[in-house]
Amino acid sequence: MSITNTKDRRPGDSMVLDTRRQPLVLRTLVSPRIADLVTEFRIKFPYCVGPSKLLQSLLLVDRCLCADLDTRLGKALTSLPNLQVLHINCLFCPDEEDTRHRYLADLVTTSLRELCLYCKCSRIRIEKSQHILSAPCMQSVITLDWIASGGRVRPDVYDVLTHTYRKVLPLVTKLRYGRTVDLEGIVAGRPITHLGCHTMKDGLHGALSKNTGALNRLRVDENWSNINFYMGRDPEPYRSLRHFGCFRFIGCASNYILKQMLPFAILEHLQSIEVFNHTIRLSRTEDREERNPWKVSLLDSLYKQHRRLKKIFIKDLVEVNKLTGEKCDCFLWERRESWERYSVSQFTDWDMVLGFEPQVVH
């Protein structure tokens, strides 16, 4: 049985929970009769809005429910012996004492293969990440996506971190570490085939040179051009790449794009790329289309550089709203006999890392 309260449902999801039912369902999961059936669990907690005015007026509560919900979640998750997939999207208020989510080290399952943790409340400090990732329940994990809100690992503890991580997550092949936690120690010596990272730097490049797998998919959030420097220094870790993202070309002409992508010609297996385009400054749709460099002429030139290139996923930022955030149009250019453009559903960074292709929108 799969349980989720998120809108982003994957094949296999079977139950959607609204926010009001979360405490009830979490309490129900403690029942052995129910707990034994759950193999996938996905939950997204809402942003913390503090205690309700009604409860405050009645003097029943003077704090928010974040800590209580996290405690309930921990009791539920540590009751699931057959859990295989776990996704937690935590939008709780800041946890100054860094006590939340530590129950992840106490899961009773021995078959967990996928863990995705997006955490806004905790920094996931070194001690905490070591405690969780070295737990017995984590030794079967194949896919790890860990994004948190805190600071980076200090350089002076990198050697300790690398040494500590040598014996954890031996089976992990799909990995993303976010802006808050440096996990080069996991990359080194692991059979990593899918990798997402915030930026490419010396520590990660060095870890990739020790990677025991063939890196097939790589996504770099920022400073993607750094990869040119590292490929020039040592291209071997990247030889097997079939997908790379995210190229960020903002108001760039076709010739500039071709020049920037020329170093990637050494990637003989490259089949798809992800591009972030930026036409937000152009208000009229027809102006955006006219100024947009991603047309058949550019794609044909790219194909001459990259003979196996078949798919180009494009996110075009068209609007930024303070209330609703960014609005992007998503497209896919696919080459068969010739290049064809399709409007596709929204896709996430993690989708690109894993190779989940968006659906064509008719």
DSSP string for residues in 228-297: HHHHHH--GGGTT-SEEEEEEESS--HHHHHHHHGGGGG-TT--EEEEEEE-TT--SHHHHHHH---SHH
Q: Both tokens of residue 339?
A: 């290049």
Would 173 be classed as within a structural domain? Answer: no
Tally of domains in the chain? 1
**Are 107 and 75 spatial neighbours (Cβ–Cβ below 8 Å)?**
no
Running DSSP on this structure, what letter comes out for residue 12?
T
Domain residues for the domain of 278 are 242-362
Return averaged pLDDT per consecutive 10 residues of the chain, 362 residues in all.
Answer: 53 49 77 90 81 51 76 93 94 83 95 93 74 91 84 40 65 78 75 91 88 92 86 92 91 86 93 83 54 89 95 83 69 95 93 94 82
Task: Return the pLDDT at 156.
Answer: 38
Would 311 be classed as within a structural domain? Answer: yes
Q: Which residue has the tokens 């309490």?
A: 27
Closest CA to 208 of 221, 225, 222, 194: 194
Would 320 be classed as within a structural domain? Answer: yes
CA distance 52 to 56: 6
Task: Return the pLDDT at 351.
Answer: 94
CA distance 339 to 362: 18
Task: Return the pLDDT at 153.
Answer: 39
Would 22 be classed as within a structural domain? Answer: no
Task: Return the pLDDT at 223.
Answer: 81
Would 177 be classed as within a structural domain? Answer: no
Closest CA to 166 of 145, 144, 183, 149: 183
Torsion of CA 173, 328, 44, 48, to 10 degrees: 130
Total residue length of the chain: 362
Task: Return the pLDDT at 47.
Answer: 79
**Are 175 and 192 spatial neighbours (Cβ–Cβ below 8 Å)?**
yes
Q: Which residues, 6+ apart, have CB-to-CB distance to 153 below 8 Å?
A: 126, 161, 181, 182
CA distance 276 to 265: 20
Would 172 be classed as within a structural domain? Answer: no
* pTM of the predicted model as reported, rounded to 2 decimal places: 0.85
Helix (H) or strand (E) holding 174: strand 174-177
